Amino acid sequence: MNFRLIVALLFFVSPVLGKNADKGFDKAAFYAILKSGKMAAVNEELDLLKSSNISEKEAYEGTLLMRKAGLLKIPVEKLKLFKKGRIKLETALSNDAANGEYHFLRLIIQENAPNIAKYHADLETDKQEIKKAYKNLSPAVQQAVIDYCKNSKILHAQDF
Prediction pTM value: 0.83
Q: Is 3 helix (H, G, I), strand (E, B) or coil?
A: helix
Q: What is the pLDDT of residue 159?
A: 87
10 pLDDT more than 50: no
Q: What is the pLDDT of residue 57?
A: 96
Domain extent at residue 116: 3-159
Report how many domains make up the chain.
Answer: 1
pLDDT tens, residue by residue, 28-82: 999 999 999 899 999 999 999 999 999 999 999 999 999 999 999 999 999 999 9
- What phi and psi, each to the nearest 5 degrees, are found at residue 83? -60, -40
Round to whole Å and give the CA distance between 7 and 21. Answer: 21
Q: What is the pLDDT of residue 47?
A: 94
